[in-house]
């Protein structure tokens, strides 16, 4: 039997995790920033709604509101 693969798999995990994290941040920023560079907060989108804590001086996040 011959096993072909990386013999030091744990050493490659941080790099892959960093790439995945960076890709997630990039996709989120592309969701809220237009090509012209303007911020577009669409509160109909679950990701935007769930990550925004305050908007226009008031708390909009339901979890934070419940704690206040």
Does residue 32 sit within a domain? Answer: yes
- 6 neighbors 22 (Cβ within 8 angstroms): no
Distance CA 1, CA 19 (A): 33
Q: What is the DSSP code string of 9-59?
A: HHHHHHHHHHHHHHHHHHHHHHHHB-TTS-B---TTSHHHHHH--EETTEE
Domains contained in the chain, number: 1
| Tokens describing residue 33 | 């920033």
In a domain, 54, yes or no: yes
Quick check: pTM over 0.85?
no
Residue 30: domain span: 14-67
| Per-residue model confidence as pLDDT tens for the chain (68 residues) | 777 777 777 777 777 888 999 999 999 999 999 999 999 999 899 999 999 999 999 999 999 999 98
């Amino acid at each position: 039997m011959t096993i072909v693969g990386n013999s030091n798999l744990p050493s490659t995990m941080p790099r892959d995790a960093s790439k995945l994290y960076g890709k997630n941040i990039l996709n989120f920023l592309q969701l809220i920033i237009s090509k012209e560079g303007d911020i577009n907060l669409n509160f109909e989108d679950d990701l935007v709604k769930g990550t925004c804590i305050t908007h226009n001086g008031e708390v909009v996040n339901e979890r934070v509101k419940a704690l206040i």
